[in-house]
């Protein structure tokens, strides 16, 4: 667990990870947060919560799956109150491990759209990101307009994409299984593999850079990665933006695939009241603004977005399938990827 970092929000004091175990006995005016959101801009988000409520946040950061394993290992002795992570497919893993309590909150039910939260109230989405298509107009005259088009033979040797184990791709395939059925999803995966320009490697930004450089003609990636490039003052990033165009997929039918950053109150939380307050705070206008402007994510509450670069991408039609199905379909999605030969 050497990658895990413990911080105390507001005070900025670094505590030893072994010291967190004793926090469960501390006063209710503290909150112990396990988070795989690794964005520095979240600091302001947490500080504002403390200013509003007086509740101090003690935070452990790490990769989502590592934190899930830690919570499982700690069991009933865990000091953690809230788990935050990215992607509905990953929060499903925590749900499957039985880590969450059911949270009943009129505020959360009112503020967060039903398709962006667990139907049983175990977790809630607080920001979204869309998975869109990027292409190089010098190489692709007629870009794909649907995710399904990525399997069209006319795009042979043009597609760069991440590995099949990547949670974003697992969730995308989970949505395709939900919308198109298993057989069609497997046919799609095999078609995309046949169109690979190279074996899968790298992250979303790497795929966008590869498209701009002409290493491939088409890729997919999350919107906030592209907005980071739009905001960058670096000449190499400006060159990438100049050589890449973006498509909102499936606008003529179900809409673009979106995913969430999400969190829930843990079943062994020693500070459950503070945990619910924190989740409700994340749905507030102020917190939604931090999420939209700090990490270029879409707020789940309408009317909050004040990010010019993100707004410049337009207002797409969004697939309204409940994001919980990405997790429900994840085991099958991995099997489909394996059968398709998607590395």
5-128+260-311 and 129-256+319-340 in the same fold: yes
Average pLDDT over residues 65-74: 96
Answer whether 0.75 is exceeded by the pTM.
yes
5-128+260-311: CATH number: 3.40.190.10
Q: Which one, of 341, 302, 338, lies nearest residue 318 by Cα?
A: 302
pLDDT higher than 70, residue 1:
no
The ranges assigned to domains in the chain are 5-128+260-311, 129-256+319-340
In degrees, rounded to 5, the angle at the alpha carbon of residue 115 between the alpha carbons of residues 64 and 178 is 80
* Predicted confidence (pLDDT) per residue in 235-287, tens digit: 999 999 999 999 999 999 999 999 999 999 999 999 999 999 999 999 999 99
pLDDT higher than 70, residue 19:
no
Per-residue pLDDT, 161: 97
Average pLDDT over residues 285-294: 86
* Predicted confidence (pLDDT) per residue in 173-198, tens digit: 999 999 999 999 999 999 999 999 99
End-to-end Cα spacing for the chain: 27
- Cβ-count burial 17-43 (b if 16+ within 10 Å, e if not): eeebeebbeeeeebbbbbbbbebeebb
Decide which of 3.30.420.40, 3.40.190.10, 1.10.1060.10, 3.90.1150.10 is the CATH code for 129-256+319-340: 3.40.190.10
* Predicted confidence (pLDDT) per residue in 122-146, tens digit: 999 999 999 999 999 999 999 999 9
pLDDT higher than 80, residue 61:
yes
Q: Which one, of 113, 119, 81, 77, lies nearest residue 100 by Cα?
A: 81
Average pLDDT, the chain: 90
In Å, how far from its chain's centre is CA 313? Answer: 18
């Amino acid at each position: 667990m050497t990658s895990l970092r413990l911080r105390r929000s507001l005070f900025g004091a670094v505590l030893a990870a072994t010291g967190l175990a004793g926090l469960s006995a501390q006063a209710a005016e503290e909150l112990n947060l396990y988070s795989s959101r690794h964005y520095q801009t979240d600091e302001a988000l947490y500080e504002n919560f403390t200013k509003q409520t007086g509740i101090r946040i003690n935070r452990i950061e790490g990769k989502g799956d590592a934190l899930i394993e830690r919570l499982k290992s700690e069991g009933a002795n865990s000091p953690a109150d809230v788990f935050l992570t990215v992607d509905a497919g990953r929060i499903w893993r925590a749900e499957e491990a039985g880590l969450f309590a059911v949270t009943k909150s009129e505020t959360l039910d009112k503020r967060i759209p039903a398709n962006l939260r667990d139907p049983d109230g175990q977790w809630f989405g607080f920001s979204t990101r869309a998975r869109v298509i990027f292409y190089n107009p010098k190489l692709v005259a007629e870009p794909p307009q649907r995710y399904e088009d990525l399997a069209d033979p006319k795009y042979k040797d043009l597609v760069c994409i991440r590995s099949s184990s990547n949670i974003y791709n697992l969730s995308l395939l989970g949505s395709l299984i939900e919308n198109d059925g298993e057989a069609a999803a497997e046919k799609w995966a095999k078609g995309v593999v046949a169109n690979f320009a190279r074996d899968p490697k790298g992250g979303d930004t790497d795929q966008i850079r590869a498209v701009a450089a002409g290493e491939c003609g088409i890729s997919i990636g999350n919107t906030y990665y592209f907005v980071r490039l739009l905001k960058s003052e670096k000449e190499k990033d400006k060159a990438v933006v100049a050589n890449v165009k973006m498509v909102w997929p499936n606008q003529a039918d179900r809409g673009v695939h979106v995913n969430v950053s999400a969190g829930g109150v843990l079943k062994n939380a020693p500070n459950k009241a503070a945990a619910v307050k924190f989740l409700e705070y994340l749905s507030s206008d102020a917190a939604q603004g931090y999420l939209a402007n700090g990490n270029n994510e879409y707020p789940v509450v309408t009317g909050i977005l004040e990010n010019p670069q993100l707004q410049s991408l337009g207002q797409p039609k969004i697939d309204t399938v409940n994001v919980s199905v990405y997790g429900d379909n994840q085991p099958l999605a991995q099997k489909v990827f394996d059968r398709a030969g998607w590395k």
